[in-house]
Structure 1
Amino acid sequence: MTGMPGMSDMSAPAAPPVAPTSANAVNIDDFAFAPASLTVPVGTTVTWTNKDEEPHTVASGDGSFHSPGMGAGATYSFTFTKAGNFDYICSIHPFMHATVVVTP
């Protein structure tokens, strides 16, 4: 708009890019999975993002999923096709553990 005091013809600067957030996302940060427990319905794809400088994996206790080693910024996605509790760890750092609860 022109003619309004304090207004400029230039657009406001764009906000810095922000990683998309989702109810189906888990961040790996500071050697922890966040959230530590995630509840999703059957058919949901969950995406893990490594925000640490160290490599991490996502490995289920029942063997249903296992990511490759993920460097900084890498992601891994898995689609849950059956209901249940899926406990998982980082196989490189087994003190890191969390759960995905899949509801029918």
Structure 2
Amino acid sequence: MSTINRRDFGIAVVAAMLLPVTAARAEDTAVHIDNFSFAPNPLDVKVGTTVTWTNRDDIPHTVVCAGKFRSKTMDTDGTFSFTFTEPGEYKYFCSLHPHMTGSIKVG
């Protein structure tokens, strides 16, 4: 069994302190689809956040952001998740009910 002397321990501590610190993981966020609307709306999140939409209505819905993401049709309690890796404003809608719109600002 080997032991570490104080000098080696000190070097290890200093080396650990000099290692780059990685950014904390962004929080996951929920959007609910209920009564033909998305909530919360609008939504502000950090880069790296995963947003999960859950359909709480009794009829199917989708989540579409042109050129960025598109869910399959979600029945009641169905979910769709997307991780936002770039800053910007993402406007989305339900392709089955185009009057249903939402917006997510990623900064």
Tell me the TM-score normalised to structure 2 length.
0.73
SS of 1:46's equivalent? strand
Of 31, 38, 47 in structure 2, the residue corresponding to residue 42 of structure 1 is: 47
Of 71, 86, 94 in structure 2, the residue corresponding to residue 90 of structure 1 is: 94
Of 60, 66, 73 in structure 1, the residue corresponding to residue 65 of structure 2 is: 60
1:26 Cα offset (Å): 0.4
CA RMSD, Structure 1 to Structure 2 (Å): 1.3
More helix as a share of residues: 2
Higher Rg of the two aligned structures: 2
Q: Paired residues, what number?
A: 81
Comparing 23-32 with 78-87, which one deviates more in the overlay? 23-32
Q: Distance in 2 between matches of 1:91 and 1:56?
A: 8
What's 2:36 paired with? 31
1:36 Cα offset (Å): 1.4
Q: Which runs of 4+ in 1 moved over 3 A?
A: none
* 5+ residue gaps, structure 2: 1-26
What's 2:17 paired with? none
Please give the per-residue CA displacement for 1:1-44, whole angstroms capped at 9, x wherever unaligned: xxxxxxxxxxxxxxxxxxxxx87110000000011111100010
